[in-house]
Amino acid sequence: MNESPRLSSFDREAANRRGKMRFCVKFWGVRGSIACPGPGTARYGGNTPCLELRCGDQMIILDGGTGLRPLGDALLSANVVVDADLFLTHCHLDHVAGLPFFTPLFEKGHHLRIWAGNLLPKFSLEQALRTMMAPPLFPIEVESFKAKIECLDFRAGETIKRGGGVTLRTAMLNHPDGATGYRVEYGGRVLAYITDTELPSGKIDAALLDLAREADLMIFDTTYTQAEIKHRRGWGHSTWQDGARLADAAGAKTFCLFHHDPSHDDAFMDAVAAEAKAARPNTIVAREGTTVDL
C-alpha cells in the first residue's frame, strides 16, 4: 500500500495556515428580478441572488434571494451551527425573498446578523423585513424565528471590519431606491460584488472603480443585452459590455457575469458567455452551484 508523503511540522503548520486563509465563493442564486425554475434554466440556475463566502472559518452571505433557501437546507443537513453575516445589496424582493425560508432561522442556537446600507434615513432594515413578513403579504411574522437575529443598518460608503482579517468596503450603486456594492478583502485577496447598478455611458464613478480596483474576482450586474438596455434605461441594470469596461478600467483579474435576466434561458446564456469570453479573457459566467476559490 502506498502511503501519502509525510509532512514535516513546518509543512503541516503551513498547510493549516493555508486552510485557515482560504477564500472562496459559492453561487446559490444567480438570476435577477424573479426566480425562473425549469428545464430551460437548469444549467445556469433559476434562483435569485445569494452567494456564500468562506473567509477562513468565517461565513459571509451576500444577498438573501431565493438561493438562500437551498443554502440553509445544505447547512442544516451538514449539521452546521450558523454564525454568519448576511450583507444585502438592497431590499427588493428578488434579493430578500429567501429570508423567510432560511431554515436555520427556525431553530435555536443559530445567529444571523443582517446588514443593509441603502435604507437610512427613510427606513430601517428591521422595518423593511417586518413589512415583508406581515399579513396580508405573508402568513407569519419575524417573531416565528427562534434563532438570534440582528438587523444592522449602515450607510453605503462606510467600511466594515468583521474581525479575523475580513474587511468590507462599500459604495452606493445606481439603482432605484439605492443599492450597496461590496468589496470583500481577506487574506490578500479581493472579491468585488457589484450588482443592481446601471453604469453610465461616460466616465465611471470613482467609488465604483475603488470597489473593483485590482479585484481577484469582480461579480457584476449584466442583466441586459445592448439591444435590451436601449429600452430599459433607468431600470438600474447593466450589460456585460459595461462590466468589461469597468473590469478593464479597474484592473480586475477575473470578470463574472451575474444577475441574469429571467427571460435568458441556458441556450441564450451560452451565446452571451461565448461572446463575452471572446471579447475579454478571464471572463466567467455565474452558474448556480459553482464554487470559485480565490
Q: Per-residue pLDDT tens for 73-90?
A: 999 999 999 999 999 999
Does 250 score more than 60 pLDDT?
yes
Is residue 13 a part of any domain in this protein? Answer: no
pLDDT band at 163 (very low <50, low <70, confident <90, very high): confident
| Domain span including residue 61 | 21-283
Is residue 2 a part of any domain in this protein? Answer: no
Is residue 279 a part of any domain in this protein? Answer: yes
pLDDT at 21: 83
pLDDT at 193: 98
pLDDT at 18: 52
Give the mean model confidence (pLDDT) for residues 58-76: 98
Is residue 14 a part of any domain in this protein? Answer: no
Does 5 score more than 90 pLDDT?
no
Is residue 6 a part of any domain in this protein? Answer: no
For the segment 25-52, what is each residue's pLDDT rounded down to a tens digit?
A: 999 999 999 999 999 999 999 999 999 9
For the segment 170-184, what is each residue's pLDDT rounded down to a tens digit?
A: 999 999 999 999 999
Is residue 226 a part of any domain in this protein? Answer: yes
Q: What is the mean pLDDT of the chain?
A: 93
Is residue 237 a part of any domain in this protein? Answer: yes
What is the pTM (predicted TM-score) of this model? 0.93
pLDDT band at 11 (very low <50, low <70, confident <90, very high): very low
Secondary structure of the chain as H, E, C letters: CCCCCCCCHHHHHHHHHHHHCCEEEEEEECECCCCCCCHHHCCCCCCCCEEEEEECCEEEEECCCCCHHHHHHHHHHCCCCCEEEEEECCCCHHHHCCHHHCHHHHCCCCEEEEEECCCCCCCCHHHHHHHHCCCCCCCCCHHHCCCEEEEEECCECEEEEEECCEEEEEEEECCCCCEEEEEEEECCEEEEEECCCCCCCCCCCHHHHHHHCCCCEEEEECCECHHHHCCCCCCCCCEHHHHHHHHHHHCCCEEEEECECCCCCHHHHHHHHHHHHHHCCCEEECCCCCEEEC
CATH number at residue 177: 3.60.15.10
pLDDT at 6: 39
Is residue 187 a part of any domain in this protein? Answer: yes
Number of domains, the chain: 1
